[in-house]
Amino acid sequence: MKKVYLFLVITAITLAACKSGGKKSMKGDETVDATDFISFFDEMALPLTLSDSVFLKKPGDSTLIESAVYNQFIPDSIFKTFGKNKLKFHAIGKFRNQEEETYLIFRAVATGKQQVYVAAFNKENKFSAAMPAISMAGKAGTEKISVDKKFTFTHTTYSKAPDGSSGTVNEVYAYNTAGFFMMILTDGVPAGTDLPIIDPNDTLTRKSRYAGNYAKDKRNLLSIRDGVTTQQLRFFIHIETKQDRFCDGEIKGEAIMIGPDSASYTGNGDPCILGFKFKANSIRITETNCGNHRGLECSFDGTFSRQKVASKPKERKPVVKKTK
């Protein structure tokens, strides 16, 4: 009978251990070390992606780590943005770089504010560095973090401007041997950002009487440059509008003079036709069938005024002091 009772006790203990996955409690009712702390986080496979939709789900009690436990292994200095708000921490998962560092992903929760962090622990299971991965700053669907099999972290932010234009910004980070996360690449622009307009004809000669830079405003530009012959003119047009929806367009080519104050562009195999009417300080553009060079909400039609050529500053001659 005693053997049966002992067997049942051992079985119960074994089942309880299996049920808990061998993890110690992180609620402050048990003594834990760094190994216990890291073991509390479930393994995650790479590549992986976490989006800000994680904030839509209420974290469960099974992932809770009390502050008293958490602060033993991760310094509270990384949570300065939360101010004096009381924080709760929830484990999300972990992944390892073979026998080197281990990465923990966790969620910090305070009233009205949340943040997902990534923390790196070295091979001795000591905290090394941490960085914010996803915030709850915007609407759901505007932010995510991706990690590839080379342990490269890409933070992506999506944005939309009132004019309907959209933007994407990618910031790429890597954990380095010095023991911190370093940004190694960034690309993209937020919505509503005006990108520089690059004129492919800018460096060409402008000896023709009509050659120069023309504009409606700073985002609607026309440049005219000399052609191969006096009857030809190279041009580049960039247009933008943000009235109802964002719309832009560009076209470059070579127009042929068809009169003393007019020129025409007809692309080879392109249905687009542009008419140029020159005045003393402006050019009137009319278009036909040029929709493949622009959006539906804008047009190349319009008058572009000549811009003044910026004068170069005069070089000062060095002052030579006369010696007596």
Residue 94 has pLDDT above 70, yes or no: yes
pLDDT per residue over 57-87, tens digit each? 888 889 999 888 988 999 988 888 888 888 8
Exposed / middle / buried, residue 222 (Cβ in 10 Å: 0-12, 13-18, 19+)? buried
pLDDT per residue over 97-135, tens digit each? 988 999 999 999 988 888 999 999 999 999 999 999 998
Kindly give, in sequence order, each residue whose CB lies less than 8 Å from that of residue 169, ignoring residues fewer than 6 positions away: 156, 157, 159, 186, 187, 188, 189, 190
Interatomic CA distance for residues 116 and 79, integer angstroms: 11
**pTM of the predicted structure, to 2 decimals:** 0.64
Going by pLDDT thresholds of 50, 70 and 90, the confidence category of residue 12 is very low
Amino acid 156: pLDDT: 94
- Range with the poorest average pLDDT among 36-40, 168-172, 186-190, 211-215: 186-190
Residue 313 has pLDDT above 90, yes or no: no
Going by pLDDT thresholds of 50, 70 and 90, the confidence category of residue 322 is low
What's the mean pLDDT in 308-324? 64
The overall average pLDDT reported for the chain is: 86
Q: Which of 296, 302, 245 is nearest to 274 (CA)?
A: 302
Interatomic CA distance for residues 188 and 168, integer angstroms: 5
Q: For the chain, give every domain's residue range.
A: 24-189, 212-306
Kindly give, in sequence order, each residue whose CB lies less than 8 Å from that of residue 104, ignoring residues fewer than 6 positions away: 38, 41, 91, 93, 94, 118, 119, 120, 121
Amino acid 230: pLDDT: 93
pLDDT per residue over 219-265, tens digit each? 999 999 999 999 999 999 999 987 767 789 999 999 999 999 999 99
Amino acid 41: pLDDT: 95
What's the mean pLDDT in 290-299? 93
Going by pLDDT thresholds of 50, 70 and 90, the confidence category of residue 13 is very low
Contact 147, 95 (CB under 8 A): yes
> And the tokens for 255?
């127009």
Residue 9 has pLDDT above 70, yes or no: no
Residue 204 has pLDDT above 60, yes or no: yes
